[in-house]
Amino acid sequence: MTMPSTASAATTTATQPQHEIHYCIFDMDGLLINTESLYTQITSEILARYGKKYDFELKAKLMGLREKESSEILVRESGVAMTPEEYLHERHLLQLERFPHCVPLPGVMRLIKHLKDKKIPIAVATSSYRKNFELKSMNNQALFELFDVIVCGDDPAIKHGKPNPDIFFVARDRLAKHYGHDTVVNEKCLVFEDSPIGVQAGVNANMKVVWVPDENIGRLYPTLDGPSQRLESLELFDPVYFGLPPFEN
């Protein structure tokens, strides 16, 4: 898929509200916790055993996809002498060792605690399968227990993975049910993403999008159509810009 890259997203915040947001939906890997860097380390180690290199151009194509799709693309484009199933097996063994040690990224705990305190509906919508989510969250309960809804990539309600908007619609509908809301306007939902394909899914959902790319991915996409705002870190997020309650300190 060719990602749009002709327009630049805003990189600064404003002191006056520019949007009216009611729901916030967060990707997980590389946005809330540092698992994207662990994915990079693990896949690099596996490919190196076969004399192959894992670069950020290939990584950008895999980010946000469900594991079956991403493993097929990885094996095909890297030319590694293994099947997608063999790759996933080796990756899983390393994940069991390393994912329990992942930690929240800068600015995450402050933001999520703030939204929870202000009773803003919040959900995780991750392409990670439930088994991987459980592994990543096992030592991060202080973070994930704050969310009203957790939607994983292998949820049967999700018919199509990103860049299709299904996962965000499922998260939206479950937040609405959780809070007893009859209807939710998509434009009043704010998606937080770190991957270009996740940004596209949010745009396809007709939701507002904050893009927080890894610096290496950001260099590959100096401009990207769709996001309402581009930030280097969630530490820089200003809730007021989106009509959300301001931080109190």
CA 208, CA 1: separation in Å to the nearest integer?
A: 21
β-bridge mates for residue 193, sequence order: 211
Q: Confirm whether 29 is a catalytic residue.
A: yes
Check if the beta carbon of residue 30 is closer than 8 Å to that of residue 194.
yes
Q: In 10 A of CB 3, how many CB atoms?
A: 17
Q: Confirm whether 173 is a catalytic residue.
A: no
| Active-site hit among 29, 148, 166, 214 | 29
Check if the beta carbon of residue 140 is closer than 8 Å to that of residue 101.
no
Q: Cα–Cα distances in Å, from 225 out to 43, 127, 173, 205?
A: 29, 22, 26, 14
Chain position carrying tokens 């990670």 = 128
C-alpha closest to that of 212 among 243, 247, 176, 237: 237
Q: Cα–Cα distances in Å, from 175 out to 3, 42, 155, 232?
A: 29, 34, 15, 28
Q: Give catalytic residue positions.
A: 27, 29
